[in-house]
Amino acid sequence: MKNRHCIYTGLMMIAVMLFTGSACTKLDPETFSEIVEENITYKESDTAAIIAQAYSPLRPVMADWMGLFDLQEESADEIITPARPNGWYDGGTYQRMHRHTWTSLQEQPSSLWGRVYLGVVNANRAISLIESGELPVGAAKPSLLAELKALRTYYYYILCDNFGNVPLIIDYKDLSVPKQSKRQEVYDFMVKELNDNMAQLRESAGTGMYGRFNKWAAKTLLAKIYLNAQVYTGTAAFPQCLQQCNDIIQAAGTVGYMLEPQYRDNFKTNNETSRELIFTIPYDDVNALGFIIHMKTLDPLSQQVFRMEAQPWGGNCAVPQFIDTYDAADTRLKDTWLQGPQKTPAGVEVIDYVKYVESIEKSKSNEGYRIGKYEIKVGAKGSLSNDFPVFRYADVLMMKAECLLRAGQTAEAAALVTQVRQRAFASTTPAKAIVTVADLQKGSSYQYGYWNNGQITELQGGADVTYGRFLDELGWEFAAEGHRRQDLIRFGIFTTKKWFQHRPNGDNRKLFFIPQEEMNKNPNLIQNP
Amino acid sequence: MIDGIPGTLNTVAPEDIESIDVLKDGSAAAIYGTRGTNGVILITTKKLHGDMRPTVQYDGYVSVQTIARRPEFLTGDDYRRLIKEGIDFVDYGASTDWLKEITRTPVSHTHNLSFQGGSATTNVTASFNYRNWQGLFLNSDNKQVTGRADVNHSMLDGKLKANLNVITRSRTYWSGVDAGEGGFSDGNSFNSYVYRQALIRNPTDSVRNSKGDWLERNIYFYDNPVAYLMESYGQNDERETRLNGSLTLEPIKDLKFKLLLSGNQWSETRGYAETKKHVSTVKNNRNGYASRGNSERRDKLLEFTTEYARSFQKHRLSLLGGYSYQDNTRENFYMQNWDFPTDQYSYNSMETGNALKRGDAVMGSFKDKWKLIGFFGRLSYNWDDKYLLLASVRHEGSTKFGSNNRWGTFPAVSLGWRVSKESFMSGLTWLDDLKLRAGFGVTGTIPDDLYASLRSFNYGNRFLVNGVWVQGLDAVRNPNADLRWEKKEEYNIGLDFSLMDSRIYGSIDAYRRLTKDALFDYQVPVPPYPMPEIVANAAQIRNTGLEVLLNFVPVRNKNFQWTSGLNYSTNKNMLVSLSSSSFAATNDYFDAGYTGEPIQEATHRVQVGKPIGNFYGYKSIGIDDNGRWIIEGKDGKPVASADKSPDDKKILGNGLPKHFLGWNNTVQYKNFDLNITMRGAFGFQVLNFQRLFYENPKVVQYNMLNTAFDKVYGKTRLNDDLALVSYYIENGDYWKIDNVTLGYNFNTKGLKYIRNARIYVAALNLATITGYKGIDPEVNRIGLAPGDDERDKYPTTRTFTAGVNLTF
């Protein structure tokens, strides 16, 4: 009897052993739907995926909800988000942006910080993989590294422009709490990085380098950095800017850059065909979402006009004072702003966008011209396929014109501005495209002052703005392209003039505060004044 | 734990439960490992013990539900009255009670049949349970069939015992929400969006237009709730099979081996469709929409224990050692499509839609798995039932931690002293039992995230490389390779007592818990981390509390018996620290909870030295003549709402009740029995989201609570934008008459086949006494933002039931 018990016991033990086997104490996690780093062996064919992860963070940075576009435009004098009958107060965030009363808790700068640094970390990872040889890329190594460093510099350029003093992280593996660099140091890094890598960058444009940093995109970026050197460091660098612009203009014929005869072609759904675009952020309504500018600007009723698959939200619009600066013959007014009666394909009017906006605190749903620059195709979805134009050839010509203007070479500057204006007046009054030396000496035609129910009270005007006319030109050409805040700062207006219901609120508003949540986490950070 | 195997309360039908025991203190729960770190609920299902004559039992009941307290919004007549006062509402001419249009009085019934029979060596318990429940909202239902069989067999003179238990459950219910890619969220029958639309829709508007079609308007997030509900159709089919068995062998006296094996398989198949009359087509031009999904969970468990138990003289000793293995696999699949040629297919011909072919629709699948392995030992010793000792240790490992930290060791010890057995107490005849207990135990907690320690990448965001949209290889998370067990150390002392022939009995327990290495979504700097959060062991939390259980029998005689039970508990907690060796925060706080759009503010602040659950925001102290808030500034002086700054924010209350009290009464008079359950919570605040969002008269595009035009602070109407201020934080104290049941037992003495017969009527959630203005002060208390009464949460219901129990 006793033996039999031993047999049962033994059998039971064996059953236990069989069930558990070697797995009885093994606890290595099994993954199925994610790839653990140890299991990755990079091959040259993985290069595209590594490049993709470095560039794709640009999409949320730019044209997505509370992206860079909103920071650059809604803190400036062209675009506002007034409260609407359906809301748009949102804790006062848009009103603080407009009135420059933001704190370190402001949402737009907070999300920008995180999105841009994701790009920095991803670019660092790509650089680290290629530099170390973990990702074999063959002969392309020098040009790829140079390209990724240019991309990383673009991320730092956004940080430098908006926050100034930021941590400079270039080592992917270093997880120590970062030190903060001064804006001057960030500037020096950017200039050196681009100059050091310029020779290795690819010179070709076209499909292969579309949406990526070739030499000309890097030079445009460098020109932009030099253009704003006075703001970033206190020392101007217009001659250096001019040099970069000249290099690009000289090569334009060979590479294939030119002003598109039709202004609108730069912003249409398939704008990748534009020969004017030097650097873009590619979006796609199926593969690469995040272009939501139309959703924020259109009233819900516009859904019927474009037979959209999503109901737009009805928020931001043009500042009436800015609209008043346009020449009626300037076709960019209609090419940039959606205005007047909006009709369905069947011809039924659903809403009439009027120029007037009551106030930042209260407005009717049809008040204010809407951003119509980016073509909204019939059947548009919640995200558009238009690529965001970061640098256009027109931008290079205008940067050159500004350098010449500031150097006193006004006639040459006037010729360049005229060149850019010609297509805007070609179908109306071609003669009006011409800008004279005298014109360029004028101030701004913007009626700066406080907006009170359609009356400008506390009038400041723009006549006193040095090179004000040139700033107006920048406004008309680049409205709703995320340029305006930077331009207003460079022309000394951002913290001195009143527009709509904005009053100056201190010179320190030229920089956004470092997000409070980052201040809380990193004791090395010192808040901007 | 259901018969020793992990499960949920849904796994077995309530009618099948024999008993429920709760183990709360750390020392008792330690043997169960991480699964028992928040206490253990032991559910024992009905089984036969020894010889029993065959019985059949039937239980059945029918119930109806009503909304306990409905939110009162403006009516059509209110609109017209306010328009005359100059308010900018639109009058479409009708009067519609939108909430009434989407709800009904649901009728539900439940039937349970169980069979028992067998001999001392072999016996069977089997049961069959059927439910057909209706929901409050139109269309919503829940049909479930559960079958259970439990077979016990004893052989070799009782030395080998075998048990086999099968539970199979099949549930089908209407679903009004597209489950989406996430899976496991189970597409719900309650669509809070539809509920919100009913609340905010203009009460002067009509359900249908003159042609009989649904009336829709082109207003922002403003859809006809009746149309939304009636033009969507979803069905979820849930299946669960639980198979477990055990073998117990006693080769020699006092020695017992037990092998327990269990497999549990749960699956859910989902379908959801929207017709071409749904908003998705009428407004968003999708031309019909459908989705399908499937989720599956498999759980395997093996436990092997060896127990040696021996009694000699006055000593009773038991030694137990064991090994346990558990793994859990989850899988999920989802697809959607739209632009269908017809509505006829619903979701049953997914290939006929065009959106997937165009690349517009998405699909997704995923799978994950975790394992938990434990070795454990327990010693219990008892001398003359007077001195008791229980000591245990569990060595447990989980796949969820970093490679060097997968294993943790969790000891526990408890001591008991039955004072009443001491000779010096023998004179106290009124004392039946008095026992002192003291214990210490450590339990461990594992994170929810299965792979938080791993550095992983996934193909995802695309970028245009050479004209092709290539997927980038993106980081999945901030990995934490040092992730380790959260450990909870608990000290408890307790007292059990029974007096006057058990007319008064109960217990008192006091505990102090210190949670070390608490797992948190810890905030890390960006850069160098690409994402702002990491799962880390970073905090220490202390809980102290007291629990009192008191039962008494005021009346006990042949015809009349009244038993009464009181339970009281109180808890205090505090965040002790918020940093670790790897992470050090500069601030000793972080914010939690979220109002959602459009206010977009945190509702709570979690701060070192302060309790969890503190509301944090602007303290409103008045309203100015223009209807704008006046805030108490940081220096205590009034600040206009336009001038307020984040520095002015303060602690505005706490969402965790300080006191809980429950009171049960059972009265039996002859054949009648009456049971009344009451409970309450005291000393806490609730953030009333419904008032926060719907009691503001400024946005007149949507309907609002009928109190929105009342004077604020008795002064004037509000004319400010939506803002989180203390005006919406209310005391939540409540006392609920939770359950009242009245039953009658028939006299079955003369009947041949019927042994027991009882009928009863019951009311659930009968009455609530509270000063809280929302629909129910009993709100979420879990997590770091307790006390947020969500805006569009499912309305609390009141249920009336009539039922019968029969035993043959």
pLDDT by residue (tens digit) across B480-497?
999 999 999 999 999 999
Return residues 64-93 of A near B (CB < 8 Å).
83, 85-93
3-state helix vs strand vs coil in chain B, percent to 5: 10, 55, 35
More confident residue, A129 or B15: A129
Q: What digits encode the pLDDT tens for the residues B60-92? A: 999 999 999 999 999 999 999 999 999 989 999
Q: What digits encode the pLDDT tens for the residues A401-421? A: 999 999 999 999 999 999 999
Tell me the two tokens of residue A520.
Answer: 């809380």
Say whether pLDDT at A4 is over 70. Answer: no
- Give the side-chain half-sphere CA count within 13 A for B364: 13
- Please tell me which of the candidates B257, B465, B599 has its beta carbon nearest to residue A51: B465
Q: pTM score, two decimals? A: 0.89
Distance (Å, whole) CA B800 – CA B798: 7
Of A20-34, B213-227, B290-304, B546-560, give the lowest mean pLDDT range: A20-34
Give the minimum alpha-carbon distance from B228 to chain A in angstroms, rounded to a whole number: 16
* The pLDDT value given to residue B673: 93
Helix (H) or strand (E) holding A221: helix A215-227
| Helical residues (DSSP H) of A56-182, grouped into ranges | 58-62, 68-74, 93-99, 107-132, 141-162
Q: CB distance B251–A8 less than 8 Å?
A: yes
Q: What digits encode the pLDDT tens for the residues B135-180? A: 999 999 999 999 999 998 988 888 899 999 999 999 999 988 887 7
Say whether pLDDT at A219 is over 90. Answer: yes
Residue of A nearest to B303 (CA): A16
**pLDDT level of residue A2 (50, 70, 90 thresholds):** very low
* The pLDDT value given to residue A1: 41
Of A431-440, B181-190, B518-527, give the lowest mean pLDDT range: B181-190
**pLDDT level of residue A91 (50, 70, 90 thresholds):** confident
Best to test chain B binding among A17, A32, A106, A273 (most B CBs inside 10 Å): A32
Q: What digits encode the pLDDT tens for the residues B666-689? A: 999 999 999 999 999 999 999 999
Mean pLDDT of A284-300: 96
DSSP, collapsed to helix, strand or coil, labels residue A325 as coil
The total of other beta-carbon atoms located within 10 Å of residue B753's CB is: 9
Q: CB distance B701–A86 less than 8 Å?
A: yes
Distance (Å, whole) CA B293 – CA B363: 9
* The pLDDT value given to residue A404: 97
- Please tell me which of the candidates A28, A53, A93 has its beta carbon nearest to residue B473: A53
| Largest Cα–Cα separation, chain A | 118
Distance (Å, whole) CA B47 – CA B52: 11
Distance (Å, whole) CA B86 – CA B80: 10
* The pLDDT value given to residue A487: 98
DSSP, collapsed to helix, strand or coil, labels residue B299 as strand
What is the DSSP-derived secondary structure letter of residue B400? T
Helix (H) or strand (E) holding A247: helix A238-255
* The pLDDT value given to residue A305: 95
Q: Three-state SS across B461-524?
A: EEEEECCEEEEEEEECCCCCCCCCCEEEEEEEEEEEEEECCCCEEEEEEEEEEEEEEEEEEEEC
Tell me the two tokens of residue B553.
Answer: 């029998």
Q: In chain A, which residues have their Cβ closer than 8 Å to the Cβ of B645? A: 103
Edge-first strand order for the sheet with B468-475 is A35-36, B456-465, B468-475
What is the DSSP-derived secondary structure letter of residue B584? B
Tell me the two tokens of residue B402.
Answer: 């970093």
Q: Going by DSSP bridges, is the β-strand pair B620-623/B729-731 parallel, antiparallel, or unpaired? A: unpaired
Say whether pLDDT at B185 is over 60. Answer: no
Residues A369, A370, A374, A378: what is their CA dihedral angle, to the nearest 10 degrees? Answer: -110
Distance (Å, whole) CA B589 – CA B606: 5
* Residue type for position A245: C
* The pLDDT value given to residue B189: 76
Distance (Å, whole) CA A30 – CA B454: 11
* The pLDDT value given to residue B25: 61
What is the DSSP-derived secondary structure letter of residue B174? E
Say whether pLDDT at A6 is over 70. Answer: no
Q: What digits encode the pLDDT tens for the residues A146-165? A: 999 999 999 999 999 999 99
Residue of A nearest to B339 (CA): A309
CB pairs under 8 A between A and B: 257
**pLDDT level of residue B181 (50, 70, 90 thresholds):** low
Give the minimum alpha-carbon distance from A171 to chain B in angstroms, rounded to a whole number: 9
- Burial class from Cβ neighbours inside 10 Å (0-12, 13-18, 19+) for residue A192 reads exposed
DSSP notation for B579-647? B-SS-B-SSSEEEE----TTT----EEEETTS-TTEEEEB-EEEE-TTS-EEEE-TTSSEEEGGG--GG
Q: In chain A, which residues have their Cβ closer than 8 Å to the Cβ of B261? A: 19
Tell me the two tokens of residue B70.
Answer: 């409905």
* Residue type for position B132: N
Best to test chain B binding among A31, A90, A209 (most B CBs inside 10 Å): A31
Distance (Å, whole) CA B749 – CA A219: 101
Q: In chain A, which residues have their Cβ closer than 8 Å to the Cβ of B353? A: none
Q: In chain A, which residues have their Cβ closer than 8 Å to the Cβ of B399? A: 27-30
| Residue A297 near residue A351 (C-beta atoms within 8 A) | no
DSSP notation for B11-63? SS-GGGEEEEEEE-SHHHHGGGGGGGTT-EEEEEE----S-EEEEEEEEEEEE
Distance (Å, whole) CA A204 – CA A197: 16
Residues A519, A521, A523, A528: what is their CA dihedral angle, to the nearest 10 degrees? Answer: -10
Say whether pLDDT at B26 is over 60. Answer: no
Distance (Å, whole) CA A72 – CA A93: 15
Give the minimum alpha-carbon distance from B69 to chain A in angstroms, rounded to a whole number: 28
- Burial class from Cβ neighbours inside 10 Å (0-12, 13-18, 19+) for residue A363 reads buried
**pLDDT level of residue A61 (50, 70, 90 thresholds):** very high
Judged by a CB distance cut-off of 8 A, whether residue A518 touches chain B is yes
Say whether pLDDT at A223 is over 50. Answer: yes
Q: CB distance A176–B528 less than 8 Å?
A: yes
Straight-line distance from the first to the last Cα atom of chain A, in angstroms, rounded to the nearest whole number: 89
Tell me the two tokens of residue B430.
Answer: 């009124």
Residue B747 CA, distance from chain mean position = 40
Q: Which residue has the tokens 């909006």?
A: A342
Return residues 137-166 of A near B (CB < 8 Å).
none
Q: CB distance B721–A24 less than 8 Å?
A: no
Distance (Å, whole) CA B808 – CA B144: 25
Distance (Å, whole) CA A265 – CA A444: 28
* The pLDDT value given to residue A212: 97
Of B284-293, B421-430, B650-659, B731-740, give the lowest mean pLDDT range: B421-430
Residues sharing a CB contact under 8 Å with residue B569, sequence separation 6 or more, in sequence order:
B545, B546, B547, B548, B659, B660
- Give the side-chain half-sphere CA count within 13 A for A182: 5
Q: In chain B, which residues have their Cβ closer than 8 Å to the Cβ of A120? A: 527
- Please tell me which of the candidates B284, B464, B699 has its beta carbon nearest to residue A210: B464
Residue A436 CA, distance from chain mean position = 32
Judged by a CB distance cut-off of 8 A, whether residue A44 touches chain B is no
Residues sharing a CB contact under 8 Å with residue B508, sequence separation 6 or more, in sequence order:
B494, B495, B546, B547, B548, B549
Helix (H) or strand (E) holding B364: strand B363-383
Phi, psi torsion values for B700, nearest 5 degrees = -90, 5
Q: Going by DSSP bridges, is the β-strand pair B560-578/B533-556 parallel, antiparallel, or unpaired? A: antiparallel
Distance (Å, whole) CA A283 – CA A279: 13
* The pLDDT value given to residue A11: 58
Query: Which residues share a beta bridge with B408?
Result: B396
Q: CB distance A210–B467 less than 8 Å?
A: yes
Query: Which residues share a beta bridge with B561?
Result: B556, B668
Q: Which residue has the tokens 């009141």?
A: B798
ipTM of the complex: 0.91
* The pLDDT value given to residue B51: 58
* The pLDDT value given to residue A128: 97
Phi, psi torsion values for A404, nearest 5 degrees = -65, -45
Best to test chain B binding among A287, A377, A385 (most B CBs inside 10 Å): A287
Mean pLDDT of B444-449: 91
Give the minimum alpha-carbon distance from B416 to chain A in angstroms, rounded to a whole number: 35
Closest to B542 (Cα-Cα) out of B569, B573, B518: B573
* The pLDDT value given to residue B48: 58
Greatest mean pLDDT among A36-50, B2-16, B107-121: A36-50
Tell me the two tokens of residue A282.
Answer: 């590619």
Q: CB distance B360–A122 less than 8 Å?
A: no
Indicate the average pLDDT of chain B: 90
- Please tell me which of the candidates A35, A59, A114 has its beta carbon nearest to residue B532: A114
What is the DSSP-derived secondary structure letter of residue A199? G
Residues A71, A72, A75, A81: what is their CA dihedral angle, to the nearest 10 degrees? Answer: -70
Q: Going by DSSP bridges, is the β-strand pair B672-682/B638-640 parallel, antiparallel, or unpaired? A: unpaired
| Residue A301 near residue A409 (C-beta atoms within 8 A) | no
More confident residue, A262 or B11: A262
Distance (Å, whole) CA B711 – CA B703: 18
Residues sharing a CB contact under 8 Å with residue B401, sequence separation 6 or more, in sequence order:
B446, B453, B483, B484, B485
Closest to A219 (Cα-Cα) out of A254, A192, A253, A195: A195
Q: What digits encode the pLDDT tens for the residues A456-502? A: 999 999 999 999 999 999 999 999 999 999 999 999 999 999 999 99
Tell me the two tokens of residue B561.
Answer: 């018996």
Return residues 342-381 of A near B (CB < 8 Å).
350, 379, 381
b or e along B228-248 (b: 16 or more beta carbons within 10 Å of the residue's beta carbon)? bbbbbbbbbebebebebebbb
